[in-house]
Amino acid sequence: MTHAQPALPRRTVLGAIGAGAVALAVTPAASAAAPAPAAGTPGAAGGGLAGGVPQTRAISPAGTAATRVRAGFPIRYAAVSWQGPRRGASIRFHRAGEAGPWQPLPAGCAGGPDGHESAGAGALVAAGGADGYDLHLPDGASRVRSAAIDTAHGPVRAQARAVAGPLSFCGVEYLSRAAWGADESKRFKDGVENSPVKYYPLQTLTVHHTDTVNADPDPAASVRAVYEYHAVTLDWGDIGYHFLIDEAGRVYEGRWSGDDGIPAHDAAGNVVTAFHTSGFNSGNLGIALLGTLSGQAPTGAARRSLTVLLGALTRAHGLDPRAHTTFVNPVNGVTRPVDMISGHRDWLATDCPGGVMYASLPQLRADVAALGRAVRGG
């Protein structure tokens, strides 16, 4: 079942968040304060969507066969998840019938819907056009799921409508789901929306990395791979993050939030529940930087876009980016003391958002606060 996203309205104010907060607005991108993409619009390195988008191809074997995958197309990413020990897994790729060396699987960015069993361990690993792969999983691993994914070379899927280019949300340029090529049918399972949207007031914001390849030549294709991995392989029904940011500083709309054209929110300013921090999702907004930030910092462009986006969101919701707060899950009452701008590892046992990025969070909070003071003129 295909559920095409309607044209995003070029409106003015769509809804106020609360007393003293600014209003949410979606407009054509024209704000001088918006971070300028470093590499053009989606067309060249951004994804090649001018005449359509490559159809995502995926093979997902079941059961024990999940540890041996062969595909009839060049594999861009291998997606793997399992229950059990997080360390000790490895993968080797096949090209032209030859097996390459075994390489360790990263621990991944743990998440999942609230109230569901966590994916345990998982990874989205660049395959470099391999035609197959083998997996070695640690003793005790169970419920293995695996998929060979190609988001760059499949038949071109016609866009449901013309994509006009970046929009601006609270002064931040972003690429809509249609602009990066989201296939909205992937949100549906047996004709029913797999994870119906729910909205709650924003309480806190969480920074992630996708634990994928750095120096990515086609980040829009990688966003589509993350979407396939989360929505279909892991059965979450959609991408787990509210926003993603690539190394050129482009901001991508993540979790689908309705037909009103406001990314991550409903028209009243409440935040759609996503799947980035299992058990703590509702009222918690997740932003993922594309790449792996365990041994290196984000690019300057990505860091600037993250700062501007966090600044816009905290100002819009009337939140103090340097505050420490107690998150209260509005669904089940579970609490967690946390910084207003936290890292994924503050919520779950994970390496995310990478050691280098996590160490920089105090400075990030200070930069977001300083940006807010500059915007207010004091």
| pLDDT tens digit sequence for 163-220 | 556 899 999 999 999 999 999 999 999 999 999 999 999 999 999 999 999 999 999 9
pLDDT of residue 5: 34
Q: What is the b/e burial string over 73-92, where b = at least 16 CB atoms within 10 angstroms of the residue's CB?
A: bbbbbbbbbbbbebeebebe
pLDDT of residue 280: 95
Res. 369 pLDDT band, cuts 50 70 90? very high
The percentage of residues in the chain with a pLDDT greater than 90, rounded to a whole number, is 69
pLDDT of residue 87: 84
| 308-355 confidence digits (pLDDT tens) | 999 999 999 999 999 999 999 999 999 999 999 999 999 998 899 999
pLDDT of residue 325: 97
State the first-to-last Cα distance of the chain, in angstroms, to the nearest integer: 51
pLDDT of residue 72: 92
Do 316 and 375 meet the contact criterion of CB atoms below 8 Å apart?
no
pLDDT of residue 122: 86
For 139-160, what is the mean pLDDT?
A: 87
Among residues 243, 260, 355, the alpha carbon closest in space to that of 302 is found at 243
Q: Calculate the average pLDDT of the chain.
A: 86
Least confident of 37-41, 75-79, 296-300: 37-41
pLDDT tops 80 at residue 247: yes
pLDDT of residue 173: 95
pLDDT of residue 158: 72
pLDDT tops 60 at residue 92: yes
Of 18 and 217, more confident = 217
Among residues 216, 180, 181, 225, the alpha carbon closest in space to that of 77 is found at 225
pLDDT tops 90 at residue 6: no
Res. 117 pLDDT band, cuts 50 70 90? low
Least confident of 26-35, 119-128, 303-312: 26-35
pLDDT tops 50 at residue 45: no
Res. 25 pLDDT band, cuts 50 70 90? low
Res. 84 pLDDT band, cuts 50 70 90? confident
Of 352 and 25, more confident = 352
- In SS3 terms, the chain reads as CCCCCCCCCCCCEEEECCCCCCEEEEEECCCCCCCCCCCCCCCCCCCCCCCCEECCEEECCCHHHHHEEEEEEEEEEEEEEEECCCCCCEEEEEECCEECCCEECCCCCCCCCCCCCCCEEEEEEEEEEEEEEEEECCCCCEEEEEEEEECCCCCEECCCCCCCCCEEECCEEEECHHHHCCCHHHHEECCEECCCCCEECCCEEEEEECCCCCCCCCHHHHHHHHHHHHHHHCCCCCCCCCEEECCCCCEEECCCCCCCCCCCECCCCCEECCCCCCCCCCCEEEEEECCCCCCCCCCHHHHHHHHHHHHHHHHHCCCCCCCEEEEECCCCCCEEEEECEEEHHHCCCCCCCCHHHHHCHHHHHHHHHHHHHHHHCC
For 222-250, what is the mean pLDDT?
A: 97
pLDDT tops 50 at residue 60: yes
pLDDT tops 50 at residue 15: no
pLDDT tops 70 at residue 131: yes
pLDDT of residue 118: 58
Of 163 and 114, more confident = 114
pLDDT of residue 292: 96
Res. 375 pLDDT band, cuts 50 70 90? confident
pLDDT of residue 109: 78
